[in-house]
Structure 1
Amino acid sequence: MPSFSFGAVARSGGRRRRIAVSLALAGALGAAAACAPSSAPAGADTDAKASAKPQIDSDFDLDALVAEAKKEGSVTVYDSTGDITKTAAAFTAKYGIKATGVKSKVGDTLEKMTRENQAGNVTIDATFYEDGPSLVGQLLAQKVVYTWIPGTLAQDIPAARQNPLQILSKGNMWIYNPKLFPKGCPVKNVWDLADPAWKGKVAMQDPLGKPNIVEFFNQLKAGGDTQLRQAYKTKYGKELPSGDSAGEAWIKALAKNNPILTSSDDDAAAAVASPNQTKDRVALVSNAKFRDVKDKNYSMRVCTGMQPWAGYQYPKYAAVASKTEHPAAAKLFVYFMLTQDGVDTQLGTGGVPGNPTLKQGSVMPDGLTDWNKQLFVFDPAGLSSDFDNLQPTQDLWRLNHG
């Protein structure tokens, strides 16, 4: 197989036009959320961008819910990973209820659920959703969806994971090709990624087309300052100027170092790990890409020991469509994902269940030994702020990337 080519990425401006359209839509929806009058129930935060309080079903009865869901007959759930088809198949096998799982990018899901809610013609009953800021700032704020939690499990799930309901965490991590670098990852520090030696050699999905990278940037600005400053001192032997935001400084430096921006994680992984690859590159990819080691004979490993983190965890949240005609089936699907049988369908390449009483996936990406210690972990308390800072952070990246 020939080594990866970036011709498909650079050939035309079509993809960038589609990204621009998506961003314009997101901006319009955000403006609508900010201007619309609040319809929050009594006792809920009346800020239009604040998430509605979760519905904790204190009278939860699993048998009664299953019986009602069977009467409804079916359920459709959208997710940004193809693993949703496995979850749907397992759900149908367990409960005898027809479930359809649809892989959809978060931006497409946001648009479709919003339009369906406005039209009163809902086909998406629930979503497993990876973009926390738009979930909190748009879908929940506009009552397009709501958070539902079975009362019997509420005590097992930390409060920080309930609003919105976190069902799973996956990871984006820095990888290298061990065949080209048998002594280990050539990048030891996140500031190395901004070093001239790695100019044009860092592959990653375009942040303007992948919301959780922008969220990562915002989370870094809010919660990564101390670690980034220490990593800077370790590399350069001096302090980062105290007046600078460490997060903003790193984002600007990375953008200016001309990273190779791709339209998908598939392309970023191929840039590093595809068979016969000879280029000395590193890449930021989802842990799901490690299935390509077996499926495509890729050579890839997590940058073990990279300081202060080898990547970041990104949460996946569950939400039920407010106007669904299958509310019981949608709730049952959420409940299923909070059990071992359900979450196991999405742990084929690893991950951390949102319900901490469940076991983590037995498969671990090569080089990753501890999800919480090696990866930066998002703070869900910052989701509303992340939503507010979406455009400024996109502009920061856009203005500094060559």
Structure 2
Amino acid sequence: MTEERLPPFALIPPSSTISPPTLTNTPTQTLSLPTPRPQRSPTPHLAATATRRAESFAWLANAALGPYASAQEPLEEMERHARAEGHVTLYADSARAIAAVESFMHAYPGLEAEIQALGSYDIYLRLAETLQNGRHEADLYLVSDPPRTLSPLSQGQIHNYIPPDLASSLPQNMREPLLVHHWTALMLICSPTLSQTDPIKSWWDLTLPKWRGRVVLPDPINHEPTLYLLVTLAQHSEELAETYSSQFGRQLALDADCPNAGYQWIKDLLANQPVLLPGDADVAFKVGDPQSEEAWIGLCSYERFAKVGLGELSFTPLLEVAPAAGLRWPTYLGIVDRCLHPQSAKLLARWLMGDASGKGGYAPWYEPGLYPARADIPDPPGVLPRQALEARLWTPDYTYVNAHLQAVRDHVAAHIGHPVGGR
């Protein structure tokens, strides 16, 4: 296993996780110790690498995946092949997947299923550890965290699989480079007292004195999606600079420690005394407290909008903020390289994608704030239309994020709590 198989950064140390044991009837959860981080290993001999690749190609051919995938695969045939294997193991970063696996076993009695449901960082390390040690435990991988999830795809550790009967229901950006299961958005929201006033025009407004101490966001040092957004803002620095010039009628002046407009925005925002909280759920409750009369603008996952429909929270997503509303956050689904049960993995993948009503294996995710990859599944009730929202979002570029994440993180750390000049 080469050094590139491990993440080039480690922002969140592994924490206690929940890991169900092998399932024979219904999934259950037991506490387990954190997974040790895999140790970096020397670069293998080129012959070993070539052997592994040859084994992967042979496995792909035998499993009818990748370039050998069939354009037609009736569900009945898929089930017959899966039953010949009799077992499937899913690695996932969401507890919702436990309910989905349970429904899979009810739909296909006699097929055994096992699930490891950990946080996205922990489950990534679990996959890296098992593959590094030559243990092929996982068959299917259902994880968000685009930069880290697409990295093993590029290394051939996971493979894309599109259920043939769904190809016409999946837009191109939901099929490539890896099948998207569902997606949400990391975006700005505002308190109900502001929802009728169009409180801000652009991200630059959050750096103005008017919003000093009134912006809430997850601590980017510890909350990776927020840090990914900041890296993406740096990547789209030209758009940020154009937005600044359009709004304020002058060119943006960069400080010496700010190589572009994204870095300058980060520095100015942190100087404006934002409230930093542990996670986006905390932000949603701070901004959306229906009993509060305070006016806040916050950054959180649109997934939290489900609690608005339940009456537990009250906030409004800000769609028209320039230059973009936020970050599209997909959850991907892929089959693990040289897994032991590829046919069962195909059947479970198809089950997880659900039916055209949002039921079946997709049911645990069919709620406001989460959008199915399948275009034929209607939007959940009460949400922003998916086409309108998706058009206003950036998508994480995992190559750029991996290359620049540490620099942006260091920039954030240098300016948290340190005032700078007004702009």
Pair 1:67-2:80 in alignment: yes
* Equivalent position of 1:196 in the other structure: 209
Pair 1:214-2:206 in alignment: no
Q: Relative to structure 1, is the Cα distance of residues 359 and 295 closer, same or farther in structure 2, using a 3 angstrom cutoff?
A: closer
Residue in structure 2 matching 1:376, options 380, 385, 393: 393
Q: Relative to structure 1, is the Cα distance of residues 186 and 109 closer, same or farther in structure 2, using a 3 angstrom cutoff?
A: same
- Aligned AA (1:129): V
Residue in structure 2 matching 1:273, options 261, 275, 288: 288
Where does structure 1 lack aligned partners over 5 or more consecutive residues?
1-17, 45-52
Residue in structure 2 matching 1:363, options 371, 381, 385: 381
Q: 1:117, CA displacement in angstroms?
A: 2.2
Q: 1:56, CA displacement in angstroms?
A: 6.0
Of 190-199 and 158-167, the range deviating more from structure 2:
158-167
* Equivalent position of 1:233 in the other structure: 245
Work out the CA distance in 2 between the residues paired with 1:348 and 1:302.
16
* Equivalent position of 1:126 in the other structure: 140
Pair 1:354-2:373 in alignment: yes
Residue in structure 2 matching 1:135, options 141, 144, 149: 149
* Equivalent position of 2:421 in the other structure: none
Work out the CA distance in 2 between the residues paired with 1:261 and 1:34.
40
Residue in structure 2 matching 1:307, options 296, 319, 322: 322
Q: Percent identity?
A: 22
Aligned residues: 367
Pair 1:92-2:105 in alignment: yes
Check conservation: 2:229, 2:326, Cα contact below 8 A: no
Check conservation: 1:350, 1:363, Cα contact below 8 A: no
Work out the CA distance in 2 between the residues paired with 1:150 and 1:255.
45
Residue in structure 2 matching 1:104, options 118, 123, 131: 118
Work out the CA distance in 1 between the residues paired with 2:294 and 2:41.
46
Residue in structure 2 matching 1:336, options 351, 355, 360: 351
TM (normalized to structure 1)? 0.76
Work out the CA distance in 1 between the residues paired with 2:271 and 2:67.
45
Residue in structure 2 matching 1:320, options 335, 359, 364: 335
Find the residue that maps to 1:65 and give its secondary structure.
helix
Work out the CA distance in 1 between the residues paired with 2:349 and 2:144.
15
Check conservation: 2:185, 2:302, Cα contact below 8 A: yes
Work out the CA distance in 2 between the residues paired with 1:86 and 1:33.
40
Check conservation: 2:324, 2:394, Cα contact below 8 A: no
Q: Relative to structure 1, is the Cα distance of residues 107 and 238 closer, same or farther in structure 2, using a 3 angstrom cutoff?
A: same
Find the residue that maps to 1:77 and give its secondary structure.
strand
Q: Relative to structure 1, is the Cα distance of residues 241 and 29 closer, same or farther in structure 2, using a 3 angstrom cutoff?
A: farther
Check conservation: 2:38, 2:129, Cα contact below 8 A: no
Q: 1:191, CA displacement in angstroms?
A: 0.9
Deviations along 1:242-284, one digit per CA (max 9) or x if unpaired, are 9952323223322333322222222111111124224322211
Work out the CA distance in 1 between the residues paired with 2:382 and 2:402.
31
* Equivalent position of 1:77 in the other structure: 90
Check conservation: 1:56, 1:154, Cα contact below 8 A: no
Q: 1:107, CA displacement in angstroms?
A: 0.6
Q: Relative to structure 1, is the Cα distance of residues 182 and 386 closer, same or farther in structure 2, using a 3 angstrom cutoff?
A: closer
Alpha-carbon RMSD across the aligned residues, in angstroms, is 3.7
Deviations along 1:284-343, one digit per CA (max 9) or x if unpaired, are 111221222254621111124333333321121112223533322222222234453444
Work out the CA distance in 1 between the residues paired with 2:366 and 2:250.
41
* Equivalent position of 2:30 in the other structure: none
Pair 1:252-2:267 in alignment: yes
Residue in structure 1 matching 2:218, options 202, 205, 221: 205
* 1:16-35 correspondence runs (5 A): 21=13
Q: Relative to structure 1, is the Cα distance of residues 319 and 367 closer, same or farther in structure 2, using a 3 angstrom cutoff?
A: closer
Q: Relative to structure 1, is the Cα distance of residues 108 and 185 closer, same or farther in structure 2, using a 3 angstrom cutoff?
A: farther
Work out the CA distance in 1 between the residues paired with 2:287 and 2:385.
16
Find the residue that maps to 2:314 and give its secondary structure.
coil
Work out the CA distance in 1 between the residues paired with 2:404 and 2:39.
12
Q: 1:348, CA displacement in angstroms?
A: 0.7
Give the greater-gyration-radius structure (CA).
2
Q: Relative to structure 1, is the Cα distance of residues 41 and 115 closer, same or farther in structure 2, using a 3 angstrom cutoff?
A: closer
Q: Relative to structure 1, is the Cα distance of residues 141 and 234 closer, same or farther in structure 2, using a 3 angstrom cutoff?
A: closer
Q: 1:163, CA displacement in angstroms?
A: 1.6
Q: 1:387, CA displacement in angstroms?
A: 1.8
Q: Relative to structure 1, is the Cα distance of residues 189 and 141 closer, same or farther in structure 2, using a 3 angstrom cutoff?
A: closer
Work out the CA distance in 1 between the residues paired with 2:103 and 2:45.
39
Where does structure 2 lack aligned partners over 5 or more consecutive residues?
1-9, 16-33, 57-64, 418-423
Q: Relative to structure 1, is the Cα distance of residues 261 and 71 closer, same or farther in structure 2, using a 3 angstrom cutoff?
A: farther
